[in-house]
Amino acid sequence: MGLRFTKMQGLGNDFVVLDCRTQPFALDAATIRRLGDRHFGIGFDQLLSIEPARDASCAFAYGIWNANGERVGQCGNGLRCVARWLARAGVLGEGVVRLESPSGVVGVELLADGRVRVDMGEPRFDPAAIPLLIDAGAGACAQDVYSIDVAGRETSIGAVSMGNPHAVVEVDDVLIAPVDTLGPQIEHASAFPEGCNVGFAQIVSREAIRLRVWERGVGETLACGSGACAAVAVLRQRAKLDAQVRVRLPGGELAIRWDGPGHTLWMVGPGTFVFEGEWNG
């Protein structure tokens, strides 16, 4: 028997989803890399497993792995696909449903138009929570702007955890931003001991931004849900955005709402089925 899977995508950020509700997840990193190869496997940005919840307050749990085989703490586009998968299976339930992510409990709700509303939790700016290493002389508290060493050059970033680490670089024009060069340099900067996702954000208005994201362990993707949340959180902390923001990514648009510290951040966007298959690799 081959490995049954569902291929899904959220604004072009693509996933392989595995049903692990009755059989435990048993793929090692090498197998995940073969599965994720776009020439010799299926191809994906992230692999998602749907599992029984360990937290009694949650309906299900899910796991996330990048195409390089590394486990990930959160993925906003993937979470919406998990919700759509559970809804099609007839087990999601009505209203806001709690799911157990690798980084904690999140809430999802299937909307009447087929999009998914997701509670991504409250953004965490504490450097230790990201994690972000900064000089003691720079202060150990959260800042709006950090200056870190990137390949021998001081670079200004914002930083936040959305269940996974993010750096945000504000740019004048996202179309010419150095995503493929500066992105991997920041991802592997010594200030981020676990690496990070890197968002390049252009403010269009107080209610709209454009965004490109270099994802940790993947490269540039057409969309990154947690990256969209991170960009809005960082720029809102700088008082440059309103509470409700449209985020335009290469693959499409997400709606983000964050009412500020003390509130969780909500994201609305699609999760789309592509095909079902069986992998015999």
Which three-class secondary structure string do you get for the chain?
A: CCEEEEEEEECCEEEEEEECCCCCCCCCHHHHHHHHCCCCCCCCCEEEEEEECCCCCCCEEEEEEECCCCECCCCHHHHHHHHHHHHHCCCCCCCCEEEEECCEEEEEEECCCCCEEEECCCCECCHHHCCCCCCHHHCCCCCCCEEEEECCEEEEEEEEECCCEEEEEECCCHHHCCHHHHHHHHHCCCCCCCCCEEEEEEEEECCEEEEEEEECCCEEECCCHHHHHHHHHHHHHCCCCCCEEEEEECCEEEEEEECCCCCCEEEEECCEEEEEEEECC
75 and 133 part of one domain: no
80 and 51 part of one domain: yes
- Map tokens 């081959």 to a residue: 2
In this prediction, residue 28 carries a pLDDT of 96
20 is catalytic: no
229 is catalytic: no
Count of the separate structural domains present in the chain? 2
Q: pLDDT by residue (tens digit) across 71-115?
A: 999 999 999 999 999 999 999 999 999 999 999 999 999 999 999
Catalytic residue among 20, 75, 81, 196: 75
76 and 197 part of one domain: no
135 and 258 part of one domain: yes
Pairing of strands 116-119, 197-205: unpaired
107 and 144 part of one domain: no
241 and 139 part of one domain: yes
CB burial class (10 A; 0-12, 13-18, 19+) of residue 40? Answer: exposed
Res. 134 pLDDT band, cuts 50 70 90: confident
Express as a percent the part of the chain with pLDDT over 70: 98
Amino acid at 121: G
Res. 139 pLDDT band, cuts 50 70 90: very low
Contact 26, 65 (CB under 8 A): no
pLDDT at residue 143 tops 90: no
258 and 274 part of one domain: no
**Mean per-residue pLDDT for 175-204?**
97
Catalytic residue among 20, 58, 81, 224: 224
* Host domain of residue 28: 3-120+270-279
In this prediction, residue 140 carries a pLDDT of 52
116 and 185 part of one domain: no
> What integer best gives the mean pLDDT of the chain?
95
Contact 231, 160 (CB under 8 A): no
Q: pLDDT by residue (tens digit) across 46-59?
A: 999 999 999 999 99
105 and 132 part of one domain: no
70 and 146 part of one domain: no
102 and 134 part of one domain: no
102 and 146 part of one domain: no
CA distance 12 to 10: 5
CATH number, position 184 = 3.10.310.10
